[in-house]
Each structure stands twice: as C-alpha cells, then as structure tokens.
Amino acid sequence: MERRRVAITGTGVVSSCGTGVEAFWHGLNASPPAGERRVHDFDPAAIFDNPKEARRTDRVTQLALAAATQALAQAGVIDGDPLRRGVLIGTGIGGIGTLEEQILLYAEKGARRVSPFLVPMMMPNAPSATVSMRWGWQGPCQTVSTACAAGTHALIDAALWIANGRCDVVAAGASEAAMTPVGIAGFTNMTAMSSRQVSEPFSATRDGFVIAEGAAVLILEAWERAEARGATILGEVLGGASTADAHHITAPAPGGRGALSCMEIALATTSLTPADIAHVNAHGTSTPLNDGAEAEAMATLFGSGGPPMTSIKGVTGHALGAAGALEAVAVVESMRRGLIPPTAVTTEVDPNLPAIDLVLGEARPWTPGPTLSNSFGFGGHNGTLVLAPA
C-alpha cells in the first residue's frame, strides 16, 4: 500500500507563555517570566458542561481537552467514519495532582474518604479517553508515556496511523500537569532543575531546567482528504523516529550517540539528507549533560555550523511529556510566519560546546523548509519529528 501524506490542519495550545496559538506565539517572542512556569489564564469551567464534570477530571486532562478543542475548532468540521478517527495523547506523569491529594486525604482521614474517581482521574490514558468520548471518535485511542519524549512520539505514531491507512484523522499531542509539591521536590532533589529558576539552553552558565505545565494537540489528517474538504493545511509531517540510548535512567548517552541515531533514522524515513534541513527545534532543556549531548549530535550530523537551531524552553520552561507537542506547534507557527523564535535568556553559546547556529536575541527571518524537532527523555527515550511547510 502506498503511504499517504500527512497534513496538519489544526493546532491548539495551553502554555505558561500563552493560551491559544496567537498568544503562544507572542509569548515565544517576549521576555520570559521569572521562576516557575504555570498556566495562570486557564479556566476549566469553559470546556466542561458543568462544574461537577470539571471537578472529576485531573488538571492534566483539563489542559489536554482545552488544547484539543482549540485544534478541532481550527481544523473545521471533521466528518466520516468515527472508527477511522483516532486519538493519541502522551504524558510523562499523568494525574499526579489527584494522586498526591488523595494520598494526603487517606493519611489524614482514612481509606473511606478516598475519592471513587481517583483511578479514572490519575490514569495516564485519561486525556486520550476524555477527548475521544467528547467527540465520539471510535478509532484507536492510545497513550504514549515516554517521559519528555512523549509528545514527539505521540505525533510520530499518529502520523503513521494515517500514512499506513489505519486512520483518516488523528488528534495527537501531549499534556502535563506535574507541578505538585512532591513532583517539584523530586526534580529539585535530583538536581535536574535550575537552582536559580532560570532556563538558558546551551549557555555556559546553564544549571538545569525550569519546570512547566501545558498541553498541545495537533489535528493530523490524510492530505487528500484535507484538500477535498477545503481545509487550510498548516504543515506536513514527513516522518520521524524513536530510539533508545540503552545507557542510563537519566543521563544521555556519551557524545549524543542516541540523539544522533534518532535524527539519522528520522531522515531515512523521508527522502531528505542533512543538507535539506532548514531548521532544528532543539530539545535544549538547559541541563549541562543534555545540551552537551545534543550539540555534539548536531555537530556530527551537520558538520560545522549546521542549520539555525532554537530552544523555546527559555520561555516555556520544560513541560516534560508535553514539551515535544508544544514545540511542534511552535515549528508550525514558525513556518507560517517565516520567523524562528529566539532562544530566550541565552546570550552566548557555551564555548565548550561544538559550534551550533543558535538563534539568539530576537526572531530570525528564514525561508521555511524541512525541520527536525527533537525530544529526549529520562530512560534514554529519543524522538525526532520531521515537519515541513504546507
């Protein structure tokens, strides 16, 4: 069977730097807030029929449903066989907010006070299930949980469902709401987070990430189907890849060999060579080891210089499993607007890193072309998504 082209026809985003694509883009090009990156302008009541329904849904699902609702509104009317419409939403941690609250309740007031909604609220597949039930989409409904690579992996797998003919339309992305007291303490005590609460990817003074929450969902659709219904095509998924470092539960493989193999295999799923890549959206978490490994992988793949590269985590912070989905939306908007947003906060690339062309200071005009979007997660999970302009 001939592989079908995969169009992007809708995007939705809930982020610490803006809710909705326009606000998100403005935030990517503005000065980042100080400290932690929570979503402050979010009202779950706006997406649920009644307050009781909202209270029975963890924040990770609320954020996912909000982003999905935006994406579907932009994509327009999606009709056809509901068995050929799928949902694939990733998360690194799931409903940890509900879990923490209920554990405290158990300790203070006993087992009988634990909510009967604990399990459906905390389970990682709740975002996908909720979106499918809201829209009546009866095709494959799955969840990817590969730490900070989850969003990118969800988009890669969803595109394969369409390319291979299983689905005509898929709502794909990721959501994360792990900014709980215990969650923050865990990341802090493992020294993964910046002690200064400053994210400055690839700089010499980087000392860890700034934790964030958020969600992003993209509507992926068979290209011919999208054209036939007159949809506005925002971009195209050309391919992607997933590899494992098989090295360490948190540290990347030396020399970025896992990241390198992932980018090479992602290119092999397309007809592209490294010379064809016009931009790289970096994982760029601002941790010393991760940024170093990614820069080394870039230098090996592209040689000296390479294409322009950016990390939006200087603004968004690191939304863990949702990061790759947020960054896919950023890439689509970058292509639509002919601008690459800067790597906020960072003013100079660490001179000890291989030479990379990191976009600094302000957005850089470019001629949109094929782009790699990288995500690397604890456990050695690597993901590279290949996107192209419409």
Q: Read off the tokens for 333.
A: 């908007």
Residue 49 has pLDDT above 90, yes or no: no
Task: Tell me, yes or no, if 279 is annotated catalytic.
Answer: no
Average pLDDT over residues 253-272: 96
How much is the average pLDDT of 327-350?
97
Average pLDDT over residues 342-367: 97
- Mean pLDDT of the region 155-177: 98
Confidence band of 68 (pLDDT split at 50, 70, 90): very high
Q: Residue 148 catalytic?
A: yes
The percent of residues in the chain predicted with pLDDT above 90, rounded, is: 94
Tokens 């036939």, residue? 228
Average pLDDT, the chain: 96
- Among 17, 148, 167, 262, the active-site one is 148
Average pLDDT over residues 213-223: 98
Structure tokens at 37: 């990156």
Alpha-carbon distance of 324 to 91, in angstroms, equals 10
H or E segment to which residue 159 belongs: helix 150-163
Q: Of 153, 279, 283, 381, which residue is the catalytic one? A: 283
Sign of CA dihedral 103, 107, 109, 111: positive
pLDDT at 187: 94
* pLDDT tens digits, one per residue of 74-92: 999 889 999 999 999 999 9
Residue 333: partners with Cβ closer than 8 Å, 6 or more residues away: 11, 21, 24, 25, 28
What are the angstrom distances between the C-alpha of 22 and each of 17, 114, 152, 219?
11, 40, 22, 17
Q: What is the mean predicted confidence (pLDDT) over 174-178?
A: 98
**What pLDDT sits at residue 1?**
53
pLDDT over threshold 90, residue 102:
yes
276, pLDDT greater than 70? yes
241 - beta bridge partners? 384
pLDDT in tens, 9-41: 999 999 999 999 999 999 999 999 877 899 987
Measured CA to CA, the distance from residue 220 to residue 235 in angstroms comes to 10
CB 89 within 8 A of CB 154: yes
DSSP 3-state assignment of 388?
A: strand
- Convert the pLDDT of each residue in 287-296 to its tens digit: 999 999 999 9
Tell me how far apart the alpha carbons of residues 156 and 175 are, in angstroms, rounded to a whole number.
16
How far from the centroid of its chain's Cα atoms is residue 214's Cα?
Answer: 9
Confidence of residue 2 (pLDDT cuts 50, 70, 90): confident
Helix, strand and coil percent figures for the chain, each rounded to 5: 40, 20, 40
The confidence score (pLDDT) of residue 295 equals: 96
* pLDDT for residue 327 is more than 60: yes
Contact 27, 40 (CB under 8 A): no
Model pLDDT, residue 323: 98
CA atoms of 378 and 382, how far apart (whole Å): 9
pLDDT at 321 over 90: yes
Query: How much of the chain exceeds pLDDT 70, in percent?
Result: 100
pLDDT at residue 233, as a whole number: 98
Active site residue 153: no
Please state the rounded mean pLDDT for residues 383-387: 98
For residue 156, give the amino acid letter: I
Q: What is the pTM of this model?
A: 0.97
Q: Residue 51's pLDDT is what?
A: 87
Query: Lowest-confidence range among 33-42, 49-58, 173-182?
Result: 33-42
**Structural domains of the chain ordered from first start:** 6-235 (3.40.47.10), 241-389 (3.40.47.10)
Q: List the catalytic residue out of 141, 153, 279, 318.
A: 318
- Given a cut of 90, whether residue 157 has pLDDT beyond it is yes
